[in-house]
Amino acid sequence: MDSEAASIRDEANELLKAQVHVWNHMLSFINSMSLKCAVELGIPDAIQRHGKPMSLAELETAICINGEKAQSLGQLMRALTQSGFFEKKIVIKSDDKEEGYVLTKAGQFLVRENPLAVTPFMLTVLDQDAQKPWHCLSNWFHNEDRSALQTAHGKTLWELVNNMPKFKDYFKEATANDNRLVATYLFDNSEEGNLGKALFEGLNSLVDVGGGTGAMTEAIANACPWLNCICFDLPHVVVDLQGSKNLTFIGGNMFEAVPQGDAILLKSILHDWNDEKCVKILKQCKEAIMKSDKGGKVIIIDIIICNQAEDHKLLETQLFFDLQVMVLVKGKHRDEAEWHKLFLDAGFTQYKIISKLGVRSIIEIYP
């Protein structure tokens, strides 16, 4: 009887754990929306300006909330502290000790004046118009629309971005900030030997395909003054942009032709396209580098899905990005075997993965 009772208790405990798992997954949107609220209230900026641990009362005054909502502000801060964006420290005032909040490393990415801030990207992703496709996802699986975003808005992503100034501005700023972060990592002059300069050593020219307004290309041009850099994107993207001594902007279509260069850079480009389109882009890149007397290579900065990753949060974040591009453009993030097949289909013979950039990796591919 005791054994039977223990078995029943174990089964009940397993059911409760399963319920917690479902509830946690169901309510996980609260993490995102709480973070969005904190950014819109200016909480990270207020703590950054304060320059020392900031009490809840000081924070309440700084962000000018309704006094009756002080308790609710404490609840919000408690949740975001648990999530790792803020940390509590003791503040000593006269003879009293008081708890105050400081920013963690993750929290510093939420400060609007931080040139590496992720806030523009976050406010784009969590905007109610950007969230609408997720409410249409099950319908999309049954219809013939290209993407769930088209089911929701009747437009492609780029039509939506171009027609809605808030998205256009956020997208431009988010891309520029991310490019600065990647460039900081590549050219940080660390003891590892300055990865960026090693990546471009021995080259005379580089073409940044889909380089947008040139934040990444400019960073490379400044760090590698011997390198003639071209930022290549659609004509309307680059038409009014001014180059410099070793930076040029050229308009065109990557599916039709890519300017000649010793190396081609594809940062966060191929995940937007299906395999057939990716092969077409890669073939154009291969043709461009084959004209070079340096032998040429293509440098890809993108996600490699790590199916066996020990870091659960890293893998989960990669899978989130995979679903995000699926919803927006019916895109896809690939594991190493899928990348390898693309390279072979495009006529490349070898590749190497040389570094990880958080959830992304750097891949060099050769004809």
Of the candidates 21, 142, 236, 271, the residue annotated as catalytic is: 271
H/E stretch holding 263 reads strand 263-267
Side chain identity at 222, as an amino acid letter? N
DSSP 39: H
How many Cβ atoms from other residues are within 10 Å of residue 189's Cβ? Answer: 10
In angstroms, the Cα distances linking 13 to 2, 4, 67, 218 are: 16, 14, 42, 57
In angstroms, the Cα distances linking 59 to 3, 159, 306 are: 55, 40, 41
Map residue 294 onto helix, strand or coil.
Answer: coil
User: Which residues, in sequence order, are CB contacts of 153 under 8 Å at separation 6+?
Assistant: 129, 132, 133, 160
Angle CA 59–75–79, to nearest 5? 100
How many Cβ atoms from other residues are within 10 Å of residue 287's Cβ? Answer: 15
Catalytic-residue membership of 50: no
Sign of the dihedral through C-alpha 317, 319, 325, 328? negative
Q: Would you name the residues annotated as active-site residues?
A: 271
